[in-house]
Structure 1
Amino acid sequence: MDGTVDGFRYGAVTPVAAYLMACLGGALGLRCVVRSLHNDQSWKPGWLALGAASIGCGIWTMHFVAMIGFQVEETRIGYHVGLTVLSLVVAVVVVGIGVFAVGYRGATTATLSAAGTVTGLGVAAMHYLGMGAMRLDGDIRYASPAVALSVVIAIVAATAALWAAVSIRGFLASLGASLVMGVAVSGMHYTAMEAVTVHVHDTVGASWAGESPTSLLLPMLLGPVVFLLLAGVVVMFDPLLVMGDAGWNGQPAPRRTASAVTAATRAPRRGSAEHPGSPKDAPADPTWSRRDPYEVPRRTRE
């Protein structure tokens, strides 16, 4: 028989929390990519990797936070640990492929098309791999049209995210792009969940009985959430991302050259324009530092 599927067991709590996690991962990822592209002194591979991990963890966390609210009333739900962790690895790796592609090759049409397609298919694979990790007393079936639509949404969302990562530089613009990314990723997830039906096996005593998947998912979600928070600390304490010109008005922060630093820190020579009151060949005077530099020296009597 078909089970009674409910994706909103806790009402709006899980969809809102899932959306916020997607936005957080997207915002951190976009700022990290901006940091790598528009500052020559940054370690580009490191910032791109941090951005890919942030976006991938955000997408994965969004999925499983949303799945906390998923239930089938006639059966309990569990998760296979290995497949759940593998879905996280897939999310980070496929996002990394797209981020590194546009990070090094730029936002050309060919690069965006290829990277967006690969990343979108990878995100969809992460979703269905996570669904495959579910353990329940029944069979999960999918409606093909909704599955195809979810894959299309994933590809479009991934392409838009990669374009935003290399094209949007301002802090507020990146924040707005991350909000749109959250909508796209959440929309892909719930579109895919509309394709789900569960055929429950006729087993006596397999009722829901108040059980919840949180006993497994919450400990597994702890790691990615902590990572996102630590990545947020790194981003927020980087002046080039928050307070620098590169973060607020889209202009690269000025860099001081070694010659400029030397000129700024070098002590002025006596007899130069900085000390107009001292003759060039005047002997060293230990009291000179206490004199007014603009004092005119008194003439001695011949």
Structure 2
Amino acid sequence: MIAFAIAVIGSLIGLSCMARARAEKTIKAKLLWTVFGAFAIGGIAIWLMHFIAMLGFDIPGAVIKYDAGLTLLSAVIAVVVVGIGLSLVTLWEFSKTRLVIAGVLAGVGVAGMHYMGMSAIRFKGEIAYSQPLVIASVVIAIVAATAAFWFTLVVKTNGAGVAAGLIMGVAVTGMHYAGMAAVHVNGDANMTAPQGMTVFDLVFPVFVTSGLVVAVLLWMLFTSSNDPFTEKAEAA
């Protein structure tokens, strides 16, 4: 439940940033809000949600560690891929084709982060996946992400904005749990002890940092009514 709440909060903020980017007049302001949206969706709604959910992942009798490098890479993948997807509908003129491509990229970003994050797991054994469930998880992410973008860009009401955040939250968590349902663990007691960080060591500092990021983004969304770059130019 906490993971879903984080996914929805990050999605609502990220989609609000996307809508704000669409409304801005200058390319610099559009780019700024697009980057904010990418961090909110990719970093908070996707990455942080994944590792909060992974707090409940356990292999009986096994010590689980995480490769810090791959974990960081998974966050970068989520932010970058989602950012590219958002840019197609924030920096360019709206079209249905770009909307679909943006939704596909966002869905791929969700899935890519998830499976890269899973590859960072270290324990005495290996993880295998059920291919049909893996495919289903990716489809869930793409379809729901596309629907969330559509609600944000086409149905411009407060209710639609909330619905978009909930749908994007479903995209992220639905993909995660479908992907986890595909997992098969094969233990091997003869393997060497795993090296790396525990999931709590990863989540706690990122959770605190994400809380600050959320606070800053909310403050900017509610207090910045004009193009910040234009204001600076006028002040100069």
TM-score by length of 2: 0.84
1:1-302 to 2 correspondences below 5 Å = 16-40=1-25, 43-57=29-43, 58-203=45-190, 213-238=199-224
Amino acid in structure 2 at the alignment position of 1:37: R
**Contact 1:25/1:55 (8 A) holds in 2:** yes
From the superposition, tell whether residues 168 and 47 of structure 1 become closer, same or farther in structure 2 (CA, over 3 Å). farther
Deviation string for 1:239-272 (max 9, x for gaps)? 57xxxxxxxxxxxxxxxxxxxxxxxxxxxxxxxx
**Contact 1:74/1:200 (8 A) holds in 2:** no
| Structure of higher RCO (CA pairs closer than 8 Å, 6+ residues apart) | 2
Deviation string for 1:215-247 (max 9, x for gaps)? 33322443334322321222233457xxxxxxx
**Contact 1:80/1:133 (8 A) holds in 2:** yes
The structure carrying a bigger helix percent of its residues is 2
Amino acid in structure 2 at the alignment position of 1:51: G
Q: Distance in 1 between matches of 2:72 and 2:54?
A: 15
Give 1 or 2 for the bigger CA radius of gyration. Answer: 1
Amino acid in structure 2 at the alignment position of 1:230: V
Amino acid in structure 2 at the alignment position of 1:104: L
Deviation at 1:39, TM superposition (A): 4.3
Deviation string for 1:28-63 (max 9, x for gaps)? 112112222234378211112211221112211111
Q: Which runs of 5+ in 1 are unaligned?
A: 1-15, 207-211, 241-302
SS of residue in 2 equivalent to 1:105: coil
SS of residue in 1 equivalent to 2:91: helix
Deviating runs (4+, > 4 A) in structure 1? Answer: none
Deviation at 1:96, TM superposition (A): 0.6
**Contact 2:22/2:89 (8 A) holds in 1:** no
TM-score by length of 1: 0.67
| % identical aligned pairs | 41
- Would you say how many aligned residue pairs link Structure 1 and Structure 2? 221
Instruction: Give the alignment's Cα RMSD to 1 decimal.
Output: 2.4
Q: Which runs of 5+ in 2 are unaligned?
A: 227-236
Amino acid in structure 2 at the alignment position of 1:67: M
